Structure 1
């Protein structure tokens, strides 16, 4: 098809919606939001699940489609692909095709022929190259009203950075981030983590599709890599904001450890290993503590059991102090509710109290003895 006859480069024209194709490389399609096939049926269903499509369907179905902001399109592989506006295209396709709506579990309002006619020809703006639309798309979805999730932002920025290989004056990542409206170096952290993840995929030490949970918490990785404990464990240099991150930041001697880190964060469905980081707070901080200890790290590598590793990593004196403080707090609470003791229904507590008393006496005797020895030694 001669697309120049339908819409010229750098031109805005009304185009039959049936001629428009989804962008199957859309950064919005992150590991947990990726359609299982590159078909309209699968893409509309996935956008309905993850991108609040129902609200847009209701709005357009009720009032009709308003051609104010054009979709941004490019010719790719002989198709007119929508780079910006895939969500709007999905809503239009669902409203025009009952099968798509039913499969996506979308309920469309009833509308008349006049409303239907607004969905036939859609205003589009054609760019010559995909990079021509980057700044508009990047700014809109990084800090704009339709912000992508973290992995989508990282994917978009990394693709932008990688595409400049043959350019005379390529932009640095800090410049790309600025054009995307990022003022806090967040994009740099995200792209660093993205490259680590892609390296793990290439090395086959980890696969995103093998993660234990459907949800993909990309923030676990880019937050973890902002801590020296994680980068030191992986042998990575500390990220420098004024330098572009390396595409293969983990050297061969640390490849196995890269697999460990990603399994701790995301688990493995195939091996039935759950992630040790259930929630970023406090689990990511607890892994940091483990990585400070060689023995604790070894336990985590061998067992993927965070509690055991943390115990091993924590010196006995700190564990003792922690347990005593916690026990004292619990005893204080028990004392405050002592009038709740019912000898008729809680007689078994007498044995438990006796056992606790003996333990307290042993602890007190040991502490008193060692304190006395310490004081005698100090006076000599």
Structure 2
């Protein structure tokens, strides 16, 4: 079963190997911008997996039952060692149970283990592949719609990496797949995967051209969905000068024209803020702010306000026509008065004389609005 002097299993075969030979996959798609280890050491990786992938339950399960070698880890040889392409959580749990120092990194207390259970942690069953694409069908399906689904950014990274390899095959004249076929193999909707990969390419282009860096975002969390959802709207793509989306073709690696890099920087800053410039994101939450940003992007004047002030509330006022604003305010005022009317029995005149002043002000304002509306409607009738 061994592969020469390295003592590794042969490609395409499964075998048990010492845990000491196994490394975490440094290219793990799970390591997204807000879930990225602070370094490449085992302790850094385990600390991140413990925080983002809930190792505690798995650690408890293995400590109780031992490590059961049913489903092999999927590994690939790198520099005479085995990198784990699939099964990093399981490897992390085993390493934690074997090493008290790593348990500290995971902020985990090592449960007591029977000797036979502890012995199961020395060697793990692995299946060795020669190339990453040999394992992609299983890994993709398991983490896209399977029991351990990745977040959207991890899915996009995985699919984009796969697509990149397919493009290399195509350039070499070999049979290859497009993104539609990859999405199907991963068990995902093509339209969703297309949007996510296209958004990833936008981010990659921004970083490659020093336009914007994800690491500069203001908040620790990274809401990738803000971008790939926004790019589904023509207001966003028009602002960036991007061509109309053609989901029958693979996304462009450089979707934003170079003369729109300033707009790209604006958009990513509005979505994610900037630590360097001490700017909070204008979009606080996807609902309703993404829709409000969409409305702003349809108004050149409102875009200028947002670029200068970084305030979505101010920009949306500029973007909204006066007649629409009046209608919204009048409907809102009527709704608030209805609420006040329904709770009128709760009014206590003792100690609240200022409410009479407020009520008088409401009446005056309502009369002015009513008079203006009546006058305008009367004017229409006489024309």
Q: With the length of structure 2 as denominator, give the TM-score of the two structures.
A: 0.95
**Does 1:347 pair with 2:353?**
yes
> Offset of 1:48 from its aligned partner?
0.5
**Does 1:109 pair with 2:111?**
yes
> Offset of 1:166 from its aligned partner?
3.3
Match of 1:148 in 2: 150
Match of 1:25 in 2: 27
> Offset of 1:186 from its aligned partner?
1.2
> Offset of 1:184 from its aligned partner?
4.6
What SS does structure 2 have at the residue aligned with 1:349?
helix
Give unmatched runs, 5+ long, in structure 1.
none
> Offset of 1:340 from its aligned partner?
2.6
**Does 1:257 pair with 2:259?**
no
Q: Choose the corresponding residue for 1:233, options 221, 239, 251.
A: 239
Match of 1:163 in 2: 165
**Does 1:356 pair with 2:362?**
yes
What SS does structure 2 have at the residue aligned with 1:32?
helix
What SS does structure 2 have at the residue aligned with 1:123?
strand
What SS does structure 2 have at the residue aligned with 1:240?
coil
Q: Deviations over 1:153-199 (max 9, x none)?
A: 00000011112343122211111111111135211111000000111
Q: Choose the corresponding residue for 1:291, options 289, 293, 297.
A: 297
> Offset of 1:205 from its aligned partner?
1.6
How many pairs does the alignment contain?
377
Q: Choose the corresponding residue for 1:52, options 51, 54, 61.
A: 54
**Does 1:326 pair with 2:328?**
no
Q: Deviations over 1:289-343 (max 9, x none)?
A: 1111111121112111111111100000111111111111212222233333222
What SS does structure 2 have at the residue aligned with 1:74?
strand
Indicate if the aligned counterparts of 2:6 and 2:80 stay in contact, CA closer than 8 A: no
Q: With the length of structure 1 as denominator, give the TM-score of the two structures.
A: 0.96
Indicate if the aligned counterparts of 2:180 and 2:190 stay in contact, CA closer than 8 A: no
Moved more, 2-11 or 320-329: 2-11
What SS does structure 2 have at the residue aligned with 1:163?
helix
Indicate if the aligned counterparts of 1:173 and 1:188 stay in contact, CA closer than 8 A: yes
Indicate if the aligned counterparts of 2:76 and 2:85 stay in contact, CA closer than 8 A: yes
What SS does structure 1 have at the residue aligned with 2:68?
coil
Match of 1:275 in 2: 281
Q: What is the alpha-carbon distance in structure 1 between the residues aligned to residue 189 and residue 312 of structure 2?
A: 35
Moved more, 337-346 or 247-256: 337-346
Match of 2:308 in 1: 302
Q: Deviations over 1:49-85 (max 9, x none)?
A: 0001010000001110000011111112332111111
Moved more, 223-232 or 354-363: 354-363
| Cα distance, 1:130–1:336 mapped onto 2, change above 3 Å | closer
What SS does structure 2 have at the residue aligned with 1:82?
strand
Give unmatched runs, 5+ long, in structure 2.
none
Moved more, 1-10 or 31-40: 1-10
Match of 1:40 in 2: 42
> Offset of 1:101 from its aligned partner?
0.4
> Offset of 1:4 from its aligned partner?
5.2
Q: What is the alpha-carbon distance in structure 2 between the residues aligned to residue 262 and residue 3 of structure 1?
A: 51
What is the RMSD of the two structures over their aligned residues, measured on CA atoms? 1.4
Equivalent runs, 1:212-227 vs 2, <5 Å: 212-227=218-233
